[in-house]
Structure 1
Amino acid sequence: MVLSHAGVPQVSGGYIGVDVFFVISGFLITSLLLRELAATGRLSVRAFYARRALRLLPASSLVITVTLVGSWLFLSKARLAEYAGDALGSALYVVNFRLAATDTDYLAQDSPPSPFQHFWSLAVEEQFYLVWPLLLLLCWRAARGRRIWVAIPLGALCLGSFVFSVLLTNHSAPWAYFGSPGRGWELGTGALLALATTRLERLPAFLAAPLTWIGLACVTLAAFWYDDRTPFPGHHALLPVLGTALVLAGGCAPAPHGVGRLLGLRPLVRLVENPVRFHRIFRGRTRRALGLGAALSAGATVLSLTAAAVPPTIEVGAPAPELTEELAGAPDPQARLKELLQSPAAGLPSNLSPALPKVKSSRSAVYRDGCHVDYESTRPRLCVYGKRASSRTVVLFGDSHAAQWFPALERLATTRGWRLVSMTKASCKVAAVTIIRDHQPYTACDDWRSQAIAKINALRPALVVVSSSDAGDPAHPTGDPLGQWTTGFETTFRGLTASGAHVAALLDTPWPKGDAVDCAAENSLQLQTCANHLSDGKPDTTRHTAVRRAAGATGVSVIDPAPWLCAARTGICPVVVGNTMVHRDDSHLSEAYAKALTPVLAPTLTGLLGRG
C-alpha cells in the first residue's frame, strides 16, 4: 500500500491494503471480545470503548491538529473551509461520507485529494465497532455461547453487505468504496474467522502452512494485478479479503514453515509506542479513559470549527467595477466587457463577489436540483425553468460546459418569458462520437444522447443551445480526427434541426492554466501570474474547426465566447474581470461570471428566436 501511494507503477493495486487492514482488525478485535465473553459470560461495552479511546484518540487528535495547521500554512487558502470540514468529519469519524459525496459531485471530482483522506478507513472501522460489540453480545446470549450459532446470523449479515457492495460498485463506486455498509463484510470476515479459532488452532501443520502461503499469494496478486481500471471493491475485493483470511486461518495453528516466518522478520514488524494507552493513571479506570477520549474529540471538533470560522487572510487590492452592473447598464455590453478585459486588476479586488472561498460552492439550479445527470445515467431529465407555460421553448443541451451557461439562460428565460428546458450529462459530448471514460467506451453517453435528441424533437423547441467540452478522446480513433468529429457533430446537428428548431452551437470556452481559484488564492496580488493566453487555452482546436464545418453543412449558428473571456488585442485571458472570478476551477465558468454575461449573450439568442 505504501509503495502504491509512493507511485511505484508495478504495485498499482496497493489500495487493497485497506481491505487487508479491515480483515485483520475484525479478527483481532473480535478475538479480544470473545475472550471476555468466554471468560465472564458478559461484555463491558464501556470498557471496550474506553480501550478504543486510549488506543486511537491521542494519536488521531494529534494528526488532525497537525494536518489542519499544515493545511492553514501550506495549502490553498480558498479551500481551508473545505479542509476544516474534513477535519471535523475526521474528528467525528464520518469523513468517509464526505469523501464519497465529493467523489460523486461532478464539479468537485478534479479537486486535489483531501489532506484528511487517510482517515476514511478509520471512520469505517469505528462505525462498524459502534454496533459490533452490542450485536456480538446479543448473538452470544441468544446462542448461549455456542459459536456456530453465533456465526450463522453474523455470516448472513456479511453476505448481505457483500451483495450490497457488488451492486453499489456498479451503480456508485465512490459510495461503495468509502461507505461503511459495503465494507462491513470485510471486517465481518475477520470476525467470523475469530469465531472459528478454536477449530483453526487444531489444523495440521502440513495444511496450515500452505494456507498461509496461498493467502499471501492472493494478496500479492491483487496488489500487482489490480489498477485504477478495476471496479472496486465489489467482487474484486474477494481476492485480497479471502487471501488475508487464509493467512490468518493458517496462522492460528503452529506451522514452522508458514508465511509467519517471512512476515515476522524484524524489518516487516511495526513498532508502535503508546505511552498514553498504557499509562498507570488510566489502567483499569474506564471513566478516566472515556473522559480523555471525549475531551480529545471535543478539542479536535472545536479546532475544526474555529478554522472554518476564521480562515486565513487573503490579501486583496483596490475595489473593482461591479461586473454585473457594468454590463447590465452599458449601452453596448460587449464593448464594455472588452474594455474590462483589456485592463484587468493586478490583485484580487476587495469587493470580489462572491468571496474567493465561496466561488466553488456556488451551484446553479441544474446542480442543486440534480438535473445534471451522472455518468451512469442513460435517461435524460427534463428540468423546466423560466416561464413554464410559455409557448416558446429553449433547450440547453450538452455536458457540464453547456451547464455552465445555465445561469445566463435562466436569467434570460425569466426576463424574456421563455420556457427553458435543461438537458445535460456529465462529460457527454454533443458530437455523436463515443469517447473513453475510465479506460472504457462511454456508451452510457451515447444512449443518453440518442434519447435526449428524441425528447428534444418531441418538445418542438424554438431554439436549442448546445455546447460541450473539447476534452475527451475517441474510443475508436480514426486516421482523420477532424473528419471523425465533423461527422459526429453533423449527426447530432441534423438530429436536432429535424424538429424545425434553430440550433446555436456555443464553442468551448478558453481554459485557464490550472485551477483558477487556487492560483488566485496563492497569487492574490499578482493575478497576471494566473492569466492564460487564448492560444494556450484550447485543449483541442480540431473540435472548433469540426463544429464550424458541421454547422456550415447543417445550417447551425456558431457562437464563439472567446472574446468574452480574453482581451482582443493581447489574447490574455484574466482570471478576474471586474469584481468577478471568471472560472470556478480548471475549465468551468464561475456561476457569477456566466450570469454577468447575460446581456452579452442576449442579442445573439434573441436574434435567433426572432427568425422563427
Structure 2
Amino acid sequence: MAILAIGLAGAVSFAVCAWLTTVAQPWAFYFSPLRAWEFAAGGLAMMAPARFWRDRPRLSAAQSCLGLALIAGAYLMVSEDSPFPGVIALVPVAGTVLVLLSGSGASRSAAQNLPISVLSLSPMQWLGKLSYSLYLWHWPVIVYATMMVPDLSWPGRLACAALTLALSLFTYNFIENPIRRNSWLMAGAARALVPAVMLTGAGVVVAYGNARFAEHNLSPEQRVIASSAAQSSTVRATNAGCVLDLETIKPNPCVFGAKDAEHSVVLFGDSHADHWSTPLIKAASKNNYRVVTYLKSSCRASRVTTWNSRLKRDYTECDQWREQSIRDIIALHPTLVVISEFSMGNMMRESPDEKHANWNEEWRSGLRWTLGAFSQAGIGVAVNADKCVARALWRGQTPAACDTQRVIAANDDFAKEERDIVRGIPNATYLDMTNRFCDQTTCHVFIDGMLAFRDRHHLATPFAATLEPPIERALFSKVAAQK
C-alpha cells in the first residue's frame, strides 16, 4: 500500500512539474511539492528487494556504471538555459536510482562493483552524510560571493567550496544532529511539528523584514529601476501568449484592436519585435487598424538559418515557422508589415563550426529575400532599427552608469548597411529611433526619468508606450499616403 501511495504521488508530482516547467519554470523549480517525485523515486528504490541485486553481481556492477554515467552526463549537458526541472530531470534522477539499486546488493559483490566499492569508502560516506547540509549552504554562498565579486576566479570558487563545507560541518554537528536526536522531540510528532512551524514562521518574518529594510534604503535611481522592472516583466503581445517558444513551428497569429477593422498591420519578428507591440497597437487603434502579430522567440524575420545556443544546434524550427508565417501574411494581405529583429544577433553567431563563415552576406541576402517577398505581393513593409543601447548592453561594453558612447552602442555603420538594403526594396521603409535613445555622443539607459530597458536588450514597457506618437507618425502617415 505504501509503495502504491508513494508511486502515485510521485507520478502526479512529476506530471505537474514537467508541465509547469514549460509554463512557469521558477515555480516548478522552487515549489517543493513539484520536486516530491524525485524523493519518491529514491524512496521506491530503497524499498526494492535487495536480494535481486545480491544474486546478480554483474548486473549490479553494470547498473552502477550506467547510473554514474547518467549523473555525469546530466552534469555536463544540462545548462542554465535548459528547461529544468522537467523531463530532462529524469536523467540524473534515473542515474541516482540505478546507483541506489546496485548499492543495495553491495555486501556480496563489492569486489566486482568498482563504482559501489569507491562510494563505500569512508571519505565518500562522510561527504554523503553532509550532502544535505552542503545542498542547503552552497547556493547562498555562491549568490553572495558573485554579488561581491562578479568575476569569480577559480581560487575564489575553491574558497566558496571550502566555506560551504565549513558551514555544513558546523550546522550538521551543532544544529541538525542535536535537533534530530533530541529525545524530547522524538517522543511525539506534535512536539517536532510545533518548533518546525515556529522556525518556518520566523524565517518568513526575517525575510520579509529584510526585504522591507532593503526597499526603504533604495537610492532614487534604484527605485526607478525597481518600479520599471515591476511594470516591464512582460510586454503587450507577450501577455497574450503570442510569442512562440523555441520548439513550436505552427504560426499563432494574435489579433489586437478591432477585429472587424477594414485594414490591418502585421508585426513580424522575434522578441525585439514584441517590445514594439505596445506603441504599435495603441497607434493602430487610433487609426482604426487591427494589429496581427507573428512572433517567435529568438527567430529573425530575415530568411537565414541561425544557431540557437539553448538548443545547441541550427534553429530549424525558426526556418519552418518563418516560411509558413510569410505565406500566411501574404495570404492575409495586410496594408503594412512591420519587421523588427535582434539585428546585432546576426553578427554574433555562436555556432561552433565554420559552416557560415560568410555570415554577414547570408544575413543581407536573407533580409532582402523577406522584404522582397512582401514587396512583390504588393504589401508595404517597414523595418524598425534595433536599439543602440540594447547592442551595447548585450556586448557588455557599458560603464557602470550604463550610459555608453554612441560610437560603441549605436553601430551607425551597421544601421546604414541595413538602411541601404531596405531602400533597395520597392514599398519598403526604414524606421530608425536611435535618436530617441542617443544624442550625438552618448546613448542613455535612463531617459526622462524612465528606465528604457527591462533587461540587456529589450525595451521596458512603460518607456515603449511613450514611443507611440513617433510610431504613429512614421508608420500610419505612410499607410495613409498609400491608400
TM-score strictly above 0.5: yes
Aligned to 1:194: 46
Q: What is the 5 A alignment of 1:19-58?
A: none
Aligned to 1:593: 463
User: Which deviates further from its counterpart, 400-409 or 188-197?
Assistant: 188-197
Relative distance call for 1:169 and 1:243 in structure 2 (3 A) is farther
Aligned partner letter, 2:406: L
Q: Deviations over 1:312-366 (max 9, x none)?
A: 42222xxxxxxxxxxxxxxxxxxxxxxxxxxxxxxx398x5982452443x3321
Relative distance call for 1:169 and 1:474 in structure 2 (3 A) is farther
Aligned to 1:556: 428
1:387 aligns with 2:258: yes
SS across alignment from 2:338: strand
1:486, 1:550 within 8 Å by CA — same for their partners in 2?
no
Aligned to 1:59: none
- The whole-number CA distance in structure 1 between the counterparts of 2:329 and 2:13 is 41
Q: What is the 5 A alignment of 1:533-548?
A: 533-537=405-409, 545-546=417-418, 548=420
Aligned partner letter, 2:403: A
Q: What is the 5 A alignment of 1:348-363?
A: 348=221, 352=224, 355-361=227-233, 363=234
Higher helix share: 2
Q: What is the 5 A alignment of 1:195-274?
A: 195-197=47-49, 199-200=51-52, 203-204=54-55, 207-208=56-57, 211-212=60-61, 214-216=63-65, 218-220=67-69, 222-223=71-72, 226-228=76-78, 233=88, 236-237=91-92, 240-251=95-106, 253=108, 255=110, 258=113, 259-268=115-124, 269-270=126-127, 271=130, 272-273=172-173, 274=177
Relative distance call for 1:173 and 1:403 in structure 2 (3 A) is closer
Kindly report the root-mean-square deviation, in angstroms, between the aligned alpha carbons of the 2 structures. 3.9
Aligned partner letter, 2:46: A
Aligned partner letter, 2:262: S
- The whole-number CA distance in structure 1 between the counterparts of 2:117 and 2:293 is 63
Aligned partner letter, 2:481: R
Instruction: State the TM-score, normalizing by the size of structure 2.
Output: 0.73
Q: What is the 5 A alignment of 1:466-485?
A: 466-470=339-343, 471=345, 473=349, 477-485=355-363
- The whole-number CA distance in structure 1 between the counterparts of 2:27 and 2:98 is 21
- The whole-number CA distance in structure 2 between the counterparts of 1:391 and 1:353 is 41
Per-residue deviation at 1:155? 6.3
Aligned to 2:452: 582
Per-residue deviation at 1:398? 0.5
1:169, 1:233 within 8 Å by CA — same for their partners in 2?
no
Relative distance call for 1:353 and 1:279 in structure 2 (3 A) is closer
Relative distance call for 1:485 and 1:514 in structure 2 (3 A) is closer
Q: Deviations over 1:77-132 (max 9, x none)?
A: xxxxxxxxxxxxxxxxxxxxxxxxxxxxxxxxxxxxxxxxxxxxxxxxxxxxxxxx
User: Which deviates further from its counterpart, 395-404 or 470-479?
Assistant: 470-479
2:267, 2:293 within 8 Å by CA — same for their partners in 1?
yes
User: Which deviates further from its counterpart, 222-231 or 171-180?
Assistant: 171-180
Q: What is the 5 A alignment of 1:423-462?
A: 423-437=294-308, 438-462=311-335
Q: Deviations over 1:464-494 (max 9, x none)?
A: 1101002152868434323211111122112
SS across alignment from 1:593: helix
Relative distance call for 1:365 and 1:276 in structure 2 (3 A) is same
Aligned partner letter, 1:399: D
- The whole-number CA distance in structure 2 between the counterparts of 1:234 and 1:543 is 43
Q: Deviations over 1:115-172 (max 9, x none)?
A: xxxxxxxxxxxxxxxxxxxxxxxx15xxxxxxxxx57x8668878988x599869978
2:383, 2:429 within 8 Å by CA — same for their partners in 1?
yes
Q: Deviations over 1:549-569 (max 9, x none)?
A: 25514442111221111112x
Per-residue deviation at 1:531? 0.7
Instruction: State the TM-score, normalizing by the size of structure 1.
Output: 0.59
Aligned partner letter, 2:207: S
Q: What is the 5 A alignment of 1:128-207?
A: 139=1, 178=29, 186-197=38-49, 199-200=51-52, 203-204=54-55, 207=56
Aligned partner letter, 1:535: V
1:378, 1:444 within 8 Å by CA — same for their partners in 2?
yes
Aligned to 1:285: 188
Aligned partner letter, 2:379: A
- The whole-number CA distance in structure 2 between the counterparts of 1:242 and 1:287 is 32
Structure 1 residues not aligned, in runs of 5+: 1-138, 141-149, 317-347, 520-526
Relative distance call for 1:180 and 1:251 in structure 2 (3 A) is farther
Relative distance call for 1:573 and 1:365 in structure 2 (3 A) is same
**1:492 is matched with which residue: 370, 388, 413?**
370
Q: Deviations over 1:192-246 (max 9, x none)?
A: 3333336358x25xx4487257504641464158424788626645762453134
Structure 2 residues not aligned, in runs of 5+: 131-171
User: Which deviates further from its counterpart, 214-223 or 278-287?
Assistant: 214-223
Aligned to 2:152: none
Q: What is the 5 A alignment of 1:303-318?
A: 303-309=206-212, 311-316=215-220
- The whole-number CA distance in structure 2 between the counterparts of 1:297 and 1:354 is 28
SS across alignment from 1:422: strand
Aligned-residue identity in percent: 24
- The whole-number CA distance in structure 1 between the counterparts of 2:294 and 2:257 is 14
- The whole-number CA distance in structure 1 between the counterparts of 2:59 and 2:412 is 55
Per-residue deviation at 1:301? 2.5
Per-residue deviation at 1:250? 2.5
1:369 aligns with 2:240: yes
2:389, 2:445 within 8 Å by CA — same for their partners in 1?
no
Aligned to 1:105: none
- The whole-number CA distance in structure 1 between the counterparts of 2:43 and 2:263 is 63
1:507 aligns with 2:373: no
Higher relative contact order structure (alpha carbons within 8 Å, sequence separation ≥ 6): 1
